[in-house]
Amino acid sequence: MNAIVSALDWVPDFARGRVRDMRVRWALEEAGQPYQTESIPTGDRTTLRAKQPFGQVPAYVDDEVEMFESGAIVLRIAERSEALMPRDAAGRARVQTWMFCALNTMEIPLAFLTELNVFSAGQAWTEGARPKAESWMRQRLSELSARLGENPHLDGDRFTAGDLLMADVLRAVPEAMLAETPNLAAYVARCTARPAFQKALAAQLADFTGSPPPGWS
């Protein structure tokens, strides 16, 4: 059976191409594993909650497992594909380390910044929080930039599931801020130029065939 990935049938323009099923689609494309999507109406909380306890996407099913949480799903795909994770214990540990780094060390400050810049944009409280959010993000970017150095990928020459998650997180950093660390900006450009990313992106965009849920303004 092909894997099935849940996706939303409508999101506002700013979120198109950025919904977290992108990570799963990208991983499946890199692994060369065929998949189908199940497009769920964005307002259908009952169906969404039946698949994912928080009413979010992605959820995932294959011939053996049912899962949610994009990072865990990418790990499942990587464990079944040498294209995303080496087989030896040391190599697997390095990839898993970078995967958690992307989702924890980098995505947490990014989520704080995105809350201010996007979801709560224009609200008075955000102005007091902005210096802290920006300095936290900049600190993490500069530390990651120092570690990446001139390497093409986090584990050296080869692209792994660690790069997949890291690049997917970093591409949501405001462009001007990311440009302050030119090696990271080039790294994101390199990873997202991969044919598998481009294929996943086109597929996500093509799946937005629905309408805004009732009450959306």
Q: Which two tokens stand for residue 78?
A: 């990587």
Closer to ligand GSH by CB, 60 or 159: give it. Answer: 60
CA geometry: angle at 118 spanning 117 and 124, to 5°?
60
Contact with ligand GSH (CB under 6 A): which of 39, 70, 114, 160?
A: 70
Contact with ligand GSH (CB under 6 A): which of 6, 37, 39, 56?
A: 56
Q: How far is the CB of 146 from ligand GSH (least distance, A)?
A: 27
Closer to ligand GSH by CB, 39 or 56: give it. Answer: 56
Q: How far is the CB of 152 from ligand GSH (least distance, A)?
A: 26
Does residue 67 bind ligand GSH (CB under 6 A)?
no
Contact with ligand GSH (CB under 6 A): which of 3, 19, 28, 67?
A: 19
| Separation between Cα atoms, residue 72 and residue 60, nearest integer Å | 10
Q: How far is the CB of 11 from ligand GSH (least distance, A)?
A: 8
Q: Nearest CA to 210 among 26, 47, 24?
A: 47
* Residue pair 64/3 in contact by the 8 Å Cβ criterion: no
| Separation between Cα atoms, residue 101 and residue 118, nearest integer Å | 23
Does residue 57 bind ligand GSH (CB under 6 A)?
yes
- Report the half-sphere exposure of 154 (CA within 13 A, side-chain side): 26
| Separation between Cα atoms, residue 185 and residue 88, nearest integer Å | 30
Does residue 115 bind ligand GSH (CB under 6 A)?
no
Q: How far is the CB of 175 from ligand GSH (least distance, A)?
A: 19
Does residue 55 bind ligand GSH (CB under 6 A)?
yes
Contact with ligand GSH (CB under 6 A): which of 38, 44, 69, 79?
A: 69
Contact with ligand GSH (CB under 6 A): which of 20, 158, 171, 199?
A: 20
Percentages of the chain per state (helix, strand, coil), in multiples of 5: 55, 10, 35
Closer to ligand GSH by CB, 55 or 86: give it. Answer: 55
| Separation between Cα atoms, residue 120 and residue 47, nearest integer Å | 27
Q: Which two tokens stand for residue 44?
A: 């259908």
Under the rule (CB under 6 A), what is the footprint of ligand GSH? 19-20, 55-58, 69-71
